[in-house]
Amino acid sequence: MKKEKVLNLFESYADDIFRFALSYVKSKQEAEDIVQDVFLKLLTKQVVFSVGKEKSYLMKMTANMCKNYLKSSRYITTADIDYDALNVAVSCKSDTNSEFLFDAIMKLDIGQRMPLYLHYYEGYSYSEIAKILKISNSSVAMRISRAKDNLRLFLEN
């Protein structure tokens, strides 16, 4: 892909990709590395995607890289979570989110957190989320429903 096109994509979508990766891996440094890897891959590979589907394709690439990171030896389950960075990233997207609600969302299992994030923070439809996460539409609906139930239980206590 040409450098100019990648730069345009970076300017348009880097913040969204960063927030998505950050909510996935919960580490500011790793999220930055993943964003860098996504755009480096665009520079080095012959990537072709449909016009108007750039963001969806980039989100899918990011999800795959995040999954690979979480499977890698670099990922340590006891790593410190940088909640301040996560709160800043989400507050940049929407000022109406309370810190308390965001902390509750971050405590959800990753299988529930990612569809919830993509739907409510990024505005993707269930079918688009299914393609990004490589799961069925019914799985997306069930995960979002369970995530909302778990949030409700957590917030009531």
Q: What is the mean pLDDT of residues 33-56?
A: 89
Q: How far apart are CA 59 and CA 51, in angstroms?
A: 15
134: helix, strand or coil: coil
Q: How far apart are CA 12 and CA 28, in angstroms?
A: 20
- Asked if pLDDT for residue 43 goes beyond 80, the answer is yes
| Burial group, residue 149, by CB count within 10 angstroms (0-12, 13-18, 19+) | exposed
**pTM (whole model) above 0.85:** no
Q: What is the mean pLDDT of residues 17-28?
A: 89
| Burial group, residue 123, by CB count within 10 angstroms (0-12, 13-18, 19+) | exposed
Instruction: Supply the pLDDT for residue 152.
Output: 86
The DSSP-derived string for 100-113 is: HHHHHHHTS-HHHH
Place 52 in a pLDDT band, splitting at 50, 70 and 90. Answer: confident
Query: Whose CA is closest to 106, among 71, 82, 77, 140?
Result: 82
Strands in 4-97 per DSSP E:
none
Instruction: Supply the pLDDT for residue 76.
Output: 53
Give the model confidence (pLDDT) of 99-153 as tens digits: 677 778 888 888 999 898 888 888 899 999 999 999 999 999 999 999 999 988 8
Instruction: Supply the pLDDT for residue 75.
Output: 60
| Cβ–Cβ < 8 Å for 93, 21 | no
Q: Which two tokens stand for residue 83?
A: 């909640």
Instruction: Supply the pLDDT for residue 50.
Output: 81
Place 64 in a pLDDT band, splitting at 50, 70 and 90. Answer: very high
